[in-house]
Amino acid sequence: MRLKLRGIVRKQLRRLKTPSGLVLTLVGGSLFALWIGSLLLNWILGSSEPSDPEVVRPFVRLGALMMTTLTLSSSLAHRGLFVPREEIERLFSAPLSRSDLIRYRLAVNLGRGAFGGIVLGLVVIRHLPNPLFGFLATFVALETLPVIGQMAAILSGALERRAYGRLKGLQAASIPLAILIGGGVFLLAVGGDGAFGDTVRSFTGEGGLTALTQHPLVRAITLPFAPWANAATATSASDFLLWMGVSLGIWFTLFELAARLPVDFRELSLETAANVAERIRRARRTGGGAAASKVTKSVVGLRIPWLLGRTPMGAVAWRKCGAIVRKARGTLLVTLVVLAFVTFIGNAAFADGHDDEERMFGAVVVAMLSLFYLAGGLRFDFRDELDRMEAIKAWPLSPARLFVAMLLPEVALVSVLAAVPVFASALLSNGVEWFVVALLLTLPLLAFAWVSLDNAVFLLMPVRMVPGQEGALQNAGRSILLFFLRGILITTVGGCAFVGGFLVHRLVLELWGGERQALVAGAAVGWLVLLAADFLLVLFGAWTFRRFDVARDRG
Of 225, 318, 423, 458, which lies in the binding site for another protein, with binding defined by CB under 8 A? 318
Q: Is 337 in the site for another protein (CB under 8 A)?
A: no
Q: Is 315 in the site for another protein (CB under 8 A)?
A: yes
Query: Environment class of residue 449 by beta-carbon count within 10 Å: exposed (0-12), middle (13-18) or buried (19+)?
Result: buried
Q: Is 551 in the site for another protein (CB under 8 A)?
A: yes
The smaller minimum CB distance to another protein, of residues 318 and 458, is found at 318
Binding-site size, another protein (CB under 8 A): 35
What is the phi-psi region of residue 84: left when phi exceeds 0, alpha when psi lies from -120 to 50, beta otherwise? beta
The smaller minimum CB distance to another protein, of residues 318 and 373, is found at 318
Q: Is 319 in the site for another protein (CB under 8 A)?
A: yes
Of 17, 90, 297, 516, which lies in the binding site for another protein, with binding defined by CB under 8 A? 297
CB of 546 to another protein, least distance (A): 7
411 to 55, 386, 402, 454: CA distances (angstroms):
49, 19, 14, 12
Contacts of 330 (CB under 8 A, 6+ apart): 290, 293
The smaller minimum CB distance to another protein, of residues 15 and 127, is found at 15
The smaller minimum CB distance to another protein, of residues 17 and 161, is found at 17
CB of 16 to another protein, least distance (A): 16
For residue 546, which of 331, 346, 382 has the smallest C-alpha distance? 382
Q: Is 304 in the site for another protein (CB under 8 A)?
A: yes
The smaller minimum CB distance to another protein, of residues 355 and 390, is found at 390
Of 81-89, 325-333, 522-530, 534-542, the segment contacting another protein by CB under 8 A is 325-333
What is the CB neighbour count within 10 angstroms for residue 72? 20
- The secondary structure of 303-371, three-state, reads CCCCCCCCCHHHHHHHHHHHHHHHHCHHHHHHHHHHHHHHHHHHHHHHCCCCCHHHHHHHHHHHHHHHH
Q: Is 30 in the site for another protein (CB under 8 A)?
A: no
Residue list 71-90, contact with another protein (CB under 8 A): none
Of 5-13, 203-211, 259-267, 382-390, the segment contacting another protein by CB under 8 A is 382-390
CB of 310 to another protein, least distance (A): 4
Of 239, 546, 553, 555, which lies in the binding site for another protein, with binding defined by CB under 8 A? 546
The smaller minimum CB distance to another protein, of residues 115 and 395, is found at 395
Contacts of 322 (CB under 8 A, 6+ apart): 304
For residue 183, which of 156, 203, 158 has the smallest C-alpha distance? 203
Q: Is 552 in the site for another protein (CB under 8 A)?
A: yes
Alpha-carbon span 379 to 288, nearest angstrom: 8
Of 254, 261, 348, 397, which lies in the binding site for another protein, with binding defined by CB under 8 A? 397
The smaller minimum CB distance to another protein, of residues 52 and 549, is found at 549
Burial state string for 343-359 with b = 16 or more CB within 10 A and e = fewer than 16: bebbbebbbeebeeeeb
Residue list 277-296, contact with another protein (CB under 8 A): 295
The smaller minimum CB distance to another protein, of residues 337 and 394, is found at 394
Of 40, 173, 391, 432, which lies in the binding site for another protein, with binding defined by CB under 8 A? 391
- Residue 338 has, within 13 A of its CA and on its CB side, a CA count of 17
Segment (H or E) for 299: none
CB of 218 to another protein, least distance (A): 45
Alpha-carbon span 324 to 302, nearest angstrom: 11
Contacts of 164 (CB under 8 A, 6+ apart): none
Q: Is 17 in the site for another protein (CB under 8 A)?
A: no
The smaller minimum CB distance to another protein, of residues 313 and 427, is found at 313
For residue 464, which of 390, 383, 544, 551 has the smallest C-alpha distance? 383
The residues that touch another protein, with contacts defined as CB under 8 A, are: 295, 297, 299-300, 304, 306, 310-312, 314-316, 318-319, 322-323, 325-327, 387-388, 390-391, 393-398, 546-547, 549-552
